[in-house]
Structure 1
Amino acid sequence: MKLVIQVPCLNEEQTLPLVLESMPTSISGIDTIDIVVIDDGSTDRTVEVARAHGVTHIVRHTGTMGLARSFRDGIEYALSLGADIVVNTDGDNQYPQARIGDLVTPIVEGRADIVIGDRQTHTIAHFSPFKKVMQRFGSWVVNRAAGTALPDAASGFRAYSRAALYRLNIVTQFSYCMETIIQAGNKRIAITSVPIETNPKTRESRLFKNEFEHMTKSAQAILRSYIMFRPWTLFATLAAVFGILGIIPFVRFLVLQILGTAGNHLQSLILGSALIVAALLSLALGVLSDLLKTNRILQEDALERLKEQRHGPLPPHR
């Protein structure tokens, strides 16, 4: 089996040597290990450092395109190299490259198609209590949306089988972490995790400016992915809520009219009508979104066949 380890980088000339020097040179069940560095528009000597450490596979962006695009381009390049397994780590050396063997073992043994390194966020010293709570809450939300039971959904230290990569399609512009889990869960791709310990912090995150931005963008990615896979559930629930809330003012209006209470109580009629209209619109959006979901499934099936034609068919047991 061929393993490709991809390292997304943005101005990582200081930490990249630590990452590359700690890469495993042999792993049980793996015949070949290649390293790919994805340079996301670095303005320092990241590329020169990579080449000085023997990296021959480099994907370069002329400008900063973001982590999700770097991941997607790295995956495409790794598949073109004939990768059976792709591991994603990070250029800031936050992840323990020495544990890559443990990360790929469930895939080599055929027990999973995606393996996530559980950072055990409650033990990370530089995480504030608030961040630890939000990490657990975020993982809970993702697990609810994906139907999974992963302790650390935000971890970027991951291994993917070629079968999984053929079925995953990244569309977000922020971070692929949440989206891939929700896709994997809804597509019934086998996913598991292994506990790891992170390395000491080397710099602040460049993915977001503060925790509020991180939470906002992550919530948007989760909601968008959930709508893609369960649109009818979401919009039917909204329709039911609006419908029930809309009936209450109507009942109030009828009761007051029957009792002959002073006033025409037109405000109840207007509010009830607005809520019922919102319920009908939600129902219509649910039907339309569900039809679009069917179309998306057909397109993804065609895209999977295209990937097989471009990068080679999957093994028979997949």
Structure 2
Amino acid sequence: MTPLKKQCSFKKALATACMAATIHPTEAARDIKATLDQADGAMKLVIQIPCLNEAGQLPGTLLELPKQLSGFDEVIVLVIDDGSTDDTAAVAREHGVEWLIRHRRNRGLASAFTSGLEASLRLGADVIVNTDADGQYPASEIPKLVAPILLGKADLVIGDRRPGENKGFPLHKRFLQRVGSKLVSRLAGAEIPDAVSGFRALSRDAALQTSVLTSFSYTIETVLQSCHNGLSVVSVPISTRRTIRPSRLFRSLPQFLIRSGMTILSLQVRYRPLAFLVPSACVFFLAGCLPVARFLYLSGIGRGDGHVQSLVLGGVCLLASLLLLGLAVLAHLCAVNRSILERMEYLRRKSLDVISSRDLAAPAVEGSILPVNARAVSHG
């Protein structure tokens, strides 16, 4: 059965179970299991864990992951080894990880996340949960995370660590997280209290529409992209554990702020070029009109000598305004073209066949996904 037919059957079976919308999410996930079992096709959850030199922390994380989960007929664990120099891959094998992807070199968190999504889709995932290997996110929170998707209320669910109140965060980090999340919420047009949380769940349809282009981190881009595509994004409060290991994503707080700021700016230009560039052009236009008007006034009363600088400054600002308007038109055309290409890519992904048992018995080829006990796949 194709994922599309299975999803339709799932929705039909879920309709009756979702009538009581006021029940608690975790209770809802339990209550709908009986209905799900009657659906035509098995529901599959893939839990993906991007890793970089996590041989010490990975065992504890793997041991607490659920083998079964209410609402799903199958739970698969997928580890993405992003060019680790320790025994991360060997540790994953020793602890029974079913699927493993290895990058030959470190390609960054965003690339590891993308590799996981593509593999999860090929494995036939109906819901994908992304979590960290350092144990910051308790596995006991996974049912709460996937409940809105099972109920058909969300496409992307973000685990809200409540950074403004979390005592495990330093004071300055709490402040910056709160400010950053408010900015992302404003740009996304939705309430996102913890935009950079890596603990999140995606429906199959949301994963099919996700294309991460930034190299720094996937968190902000996937939120803005999902909202831009009209998907439902919700947050659920979660508990966290305090980690003492320094972040491997950035070396210092200034680096994190600069790279995050550049990411937000890039995404704003990419998804809303007119809203960003046209106001900028208007600012330069007004800034150019004032000195030009001053020069014309002074020339009109016979005192224009020695004020040619105002004319030069005004001309430069007006030229910049014209250039920004032209750039806004080009950026808008590029955005329209990108939307068409993203739609085509979405349809292409949706047509991909799920890996079958026959595929698993075939010889390994570069870029394929194979179970750990067959062979781990390496990507450049």
Alignment TM-score, normalising by the size of structure 1:
0.96
Q: Percent identity?
A: 44
- In structure 2, relative to structure 1, the CA distance for the partners of 1:35 and 1:202 (3 Å cut) is farther
> How many pairs are equivalent?
312
Deviation at 1:194, TM superposition (A): 0.5
Equivalent residue, structure 1, for 2:263: 221
Contact kept in structure 2, 1:79 and 1:311, CA below 8 Å? no
Rounded Cα–Cα distance in structure 2 between residues aligned with 1:22 and 1:70: 22
Structure 1 stretch 228-237 or stretch 19-28: which is displaced more? 19-28
Tell me which of 44, 56, 59 is aligned to 1:2: 44
Structure 1 stretch 239-248 or stretch 127-136: which is displaced more? 127-136
1:261 aligns with 2:294: no
Contact kept in structure 2, 1:4 and 1:35, CA below 8 Å? yes
Tell me which of 271, 280, 293 is aligned to 1:238: 280
Aligned counterparts, 1:232-311, within 5 A: 232-261=274-303, 263-311=305-353
Report the AA paired with residue 350 of structure 2: E
1:161 aligns with 2:203: yes
Equivalent residue, structure 1, for 2:251: 209
Equivalent residue, structure 2, for 1:99: 141
Structure 1 stretch 256-265 or stretch 44-53: which is displaced more? 256-265
Deviation at 1:82, TM superposition (A): 0.3
Report the AA paired with residue 258 of structure 1: G
Contact kept in structure 2, 1:10 and 1:42, CA below 8 Å? yes
Contact kept in structure 1, 2:288 and 2:317, CA below 8 Å? yes
1:89 aligns with 2:143: no
Deviation at 1:296, TM superposition (A): 0.6
Deviation at 1:25, TM superposition (A): 2.3
Deviation at 1:202, TM superposition (A): 3.7
Aligned residue for 1:86, secondary structure, equals: strand
Rounded Cα–Cα distance in structure 1 between residues aligned with 2:106 and 2:168: 27
Deviation at 1:71, TM superposition (A): 0.2
Tell me which of 187, 210, 216 is aligned to 1:174: 216
Equivalent residue, structure 1, for 2:63: 21
Aligned residue for 1:34, secondary structure, equals: strand
Tell me which of 116, 119, 135 is aligned to 1:77: 119
Per-residue CA deviation, residues 26-53 of structure 1 (Å, 9 max, x unaligned), is: 2221111000000011111111111111
Report the AA paired with residue 28 of structure 1: S
Equivalent residue, structure 2, for 1:142: 184
Per-residue CA deviation, residues 105-138 of structure 1 (Å, 9 max, x unaligned), is: 1001100000000001133334222111110111
- In structure 2, relative to structure 1, the CA distance for the partners of 1:228 and 1:311 (3 Å cut) is farther
Report the AA paired with residue 80 of structure 2: I
Deviation at 1:311, TM superposition (A): 4.2
Rounded Cα–Cα distance in structure 1 between residues aligned with 2:244 and 2:78: 21
- In structure 2, relative to structure 1, the CA distance for the partners of 1:109 and 1:311 (3 Å cut) is farther
Structure 2 segments unaligned to the other structure (5+ residues): 1-42, 355-380
Rounded Cα–Cα distance in structure 2 between residues aligned with 1:311 and 1:77: 12
Per-residue CA deviation, residues 64-115 of structure 1 (Å, 9 max, x unaligned), is: 1000000000111111100011000011111111111110010011000000
Tell me which of 142, 147, 152 is aligned to 1:110: 152
Aligned alpha-carbon RMSD (Å)? 1.1
Equivalent residue, structure 2, for 1:315: none
- In structure 2, relative to structure 1, the CA distance for the partners of 1:264 and 1:26 (3 Å cut) is same
Rounded Cα–Cα distance in structure 2 between residues aligned with 1:173 and 1:262: 53
Equivalent residue, structure 2, for 1:185: 227
